[in-house]
Amino acid sequence: MTSAKKRIGPRFGIWAVVYGTSASLNHPEDPPDASWTRNRNLVLEAESLGIDSVLVAQHIVNPFGDEFDQLETLTSCAALAERTEKIEIIAAIKPYLFHPAVFAKMALQIEEISQGRFSLNFVNAWYLPEFRKAGIPFPPHDERYVYGGEWLRVVRKLIAGERVTVDGDNFKLDGYRFKPTSKWRERPLIYAGGESEAALKLSVELCDTWFMFGQPLEDIARKISAMRKRPRKGAPLTYGVSAFPFARPSQPEAEEALAYAFELREKDKKVYDALHRNADPEVVTSKVISKVPGVGVGNGTGCGFTGSYDEVAQRIVNFYNAGIEIILLEFQPFEREMRRFAEEVMPRVARLCSLK
Ligand SMILES: Cc1cc2nc3c(=O)[nH]c(=O)nc-3n(C[C@H](O)[C@H](O)[C@H](O)COP(=O)(O)O)c2cc1C
């Protein structure tokens, strides 16, 4: 299988602003804007800045509250696939929202539109109202993963062009197969997020890359080394993390920017409290990040990428050396800080990696 392009150093991705913001809802220069136009322009600029991937998270209702706009994932990915040329387009996908055959067909179509740049990020849901208010099933945590595992096994085979016959508890397929499949590789790549034992097992069994929310280097290194010990067929699993860098000319300026982000976060307290009340309490990822509460939809400040340009670049390299292959970036204001990161930090990371 052709995997992502080889290069020295980590790949960088961005979180599309599907909720309209990556951090505070109250930033004076960055009010929530989840519009297609904003997201399209953001991704086009990211591509021109040399960002490798965009993750389009999936929620059909904004978890900050249904008074906020929310970008739809798969239709946006299809449109991005047509508008862009190089950037990898990663769509998050929650099994209960689509029959696996319907989703696999859409995945193969976006793979064709993008000419081999579509990937999926398997996520097994945590936000209850999105499901319950629509009458979509939301069984207990481990049952969701049993369903999700059966779902992902079907999807993985179908997107590889296999003829699938399955007589499972949830899905029954009888000699089902899709054409066309990818002309560019064996199949679209499969990422997964989630830290429960069920998520780890599925990631090792069925995925190419395991994503984590932002957390300190020691935790990331320990988790990667434990994952590497698990038996697995095929190419080694690769690893990714979500990060919210505060890179500035000097360390005090970066600290000041981070403090401001936490101050703004306080203004969102009511909204976040409601979000937590509406989350499945069994979700392990939430328990992990509650130990190092941070800013960002992926708890990105947990990685500690706050400092001067040189310091942040070195810390990123430390994560890379621990096994992180892709870093999913969040910023606020997104466009301005993404530009700064691409201009100041990415070249430093490339330089440090080329010195090794
Ligand atoms: C990089 C990353 C992206 C994620 N994107 C989404 C998403 O788009 N939608 C969603 O509902 N959950 C998303 N999640 C959340 C988890 O997948 C969620 O916590 C999941 O249900 C895992 O539960 P677990 O930790 O108990 O295994 C994401 C997680 C990670 C690490």
Report the nearest atom of ligand 1 relative to the CA of 123. 17
Report the nearest atom of ligand 1 relative to the CA of 285. 25
Range from 111-115, 265-269, 349-353 carrying the lowest mean pLDDT: 265-269
Answer whether residue 5 shows pLDDT above 60. Answer: no
- The pLDDT of residue 4 is 47
Q: How far is CA 202 from CA 125, 207, 286, 317, in A?
A: 15, 7, 18, 28
Answer whether residue 318 shows pLDDT above 50. Answer: yes
Mean pLDDT of 298-317: 97
Mean pLDDT of 44-59: 98
Checking 170-176 for CB contacts under 8 A at 24+ apart, the result is: 171/99, 171/100, 173/101, 176/101
In 3D, which of 7, 50, 56, 30 has the Cα closest to residue 345? 50
Answer whether residue 203 shows pLDDT above 60. Answer: yes
Q: Can you say whether the dihedral through the CA atoms of 123, 126, 127, 130 is positive or negative?
A: positive
DSSP string over 55-97: EE---SS-TT-TTS----HHHHHHHHHHH-SS-EEEEEE-GGG
To test the pocket of ligand 1, the residue of 126, 132, 141 to mutate (highest count of ligand atoms within 8 Å of its CB) is 126
Q: Are 55 and 93 a contacting pair, CB within 8 Å?
A: no
**CA 112 to ligand 1 centroid distance, Å:** 26
**Residue 222, both tokens:** 């320990």
Torsion of CA 250, 256, 261, 265, to 10 degrees: 160
The residue nearest atom 3 of ligand 1, judged by CA position, is 193
| Average confidence score pLDDT of the chain | 96
Answer whether residue 204 shows pLDDT above 90. Answer: yes
Mean pLDDT of 142-158: 98
- The pLDDT of residue 6 is 59
Mean pLDDT of 99-123: 98
Q: 13-48, pLDDT tens digit by residue?
A: 999 999 999 999 999 999 999 999 999 999 999 999
**CA 123 to ligand 1 centroid distance, Å:** 5
Range from 74-83, 175-184, 266-275, 285-294 carrying the lowest mean pLDDT: 285-294
Report the nearest atom of ligand 1 relative to the CA of 199. 27
Q: What is the pTM of this model?
A: 0.97
Answer whether residue 3 shows pLDDT above 80. Answer: no
Provide the strand spans (E) within the chain.
Answer: 11-15, 53-56, 88-93, 118-122, 164-167, 172-176, 189-193, 209-212, 238-243, 246-248, 306-308, 324-329
**Residue 342, both tokens:** 């691409």
Where does residue 195 fall: left (phi above 0), alpha (psi -120 to 50 degrees), or beta otherwise? Answer: alpha
Report the nearest atom of ligand 1 relative to the CA of 195. 25
**CA 174 to ligand 1 centroid distance, Å:** 31
Distance CA 53, CA 43 (A): 9
- The pLDDT of residue 291 is 84
To test the pocket of ligand 1, the residue of 285, 326, 328, 329 to mutate (highest count of ligand atoms within 8 Å of its CB) is 285
**CA 258 to ligand 1 centroid distance, Å:** 24
Answer whether residue 315 shows pLDDT above 50. Answer: yes
